Amino acid sequence: MATTSSLIKSVSRRVWAAPQRPFRVCSCNREIRKGLTSSTLEELKDRAAHTLLISTLLSLVCEEDGTEVDSDEFLMTLPDNTVLMALEPGQTWRPHPLGQRGSNITPADNKPRNGRDIARVTFDLYRLNPKDIFGSLSVKATFQGLYSVSADFQCLGPKKVLR
């Protein structure tokens, strides 16, 4: 029974593998930078060790602030193309020297947003006539930047309703 359940788990892992995500990995001294794809933390560690030609006993930290990546769940919360630093035992993270010129590293606040909007809804409340008590409402919704829906709700004044 146990072998059957382990077989089902291994087959389901092969069939439902997590999607590959892009990451950037650098060495401790930031001289070597490589782009890698991975779906799990262990796979990323193995590929980083192979690519950077270092020991497989490594830890990965965010290059920007030194936060250690210690679980698959935390790895999946990171945005695509996050720069990670591979540290061998005995090495420690150090912040990037600020005095370097020609560096193409930018702080996180200046990075362009790489997420995609799911929906954008705009509400516009306006009056057709300054004497109107009630205003009109215009609603426009854009989904994934492709599909657009709009509606215009014109509220009639009390005189027009009573006629």
Give pLDDT tens digits along the chain (163 positions). 555 555 555 555 555 667 888 999 999 989 999 999 998 999 999 999 999 988 888 999 999 899 999 999 999 899 989 999 999 999 999 988 764 434 454 444 444 545 555 778 887 877 777 777 777 888 888 876 677 888 888 776 666 656 5
Burial of 85 (0-12, 13-18, 19+ CB in 10 A): buried
Residue-level pLDDT at 106: 47
pLDDT of residue 101: 38
Q: Under CATH, to which class is 21-87 assigned?
A: alpha beta
141 with 120: CB under 8 angstroms?
yes
The whole-number pLDDT of residue 103 equals 45
Q: CA-based Rg of the chain, rounded to a whole angstrom?
A: 27
Q: Where in the chain is the domain with CATH 3.10.20.10?
A: 21-87
What does the alpha-carbon distance between residue 40 and residue 21 come to, in Å, rounded to a whole number? 9
pLDDT at 45: 93
C-alpha distance across the termini of the chain, in Å: 80
Model pLDDT, residue 143? 77
DSSP result, 86-109: EE-TT----PPPTT-SS-----GG
Lookup: tokens for 85: 């630093």
Both tokens assigned to 51: 């690519």
For residue 85, what pLDDT is reported?
A: 94
pLDDT at 159: 61
Alpha helices (runs of H) in the chain, residue ranges in sequence order: 2-15, 41-52, 72-77, 158-162
DSSP output for 115-129? ---SEEEEEEEE-SS
Calpha distance 99→1 (Å, rounded): 62
Cβ neighbours of residue 148 closer than 8 Å, sequence gap 6 or more: 140, 141, 142
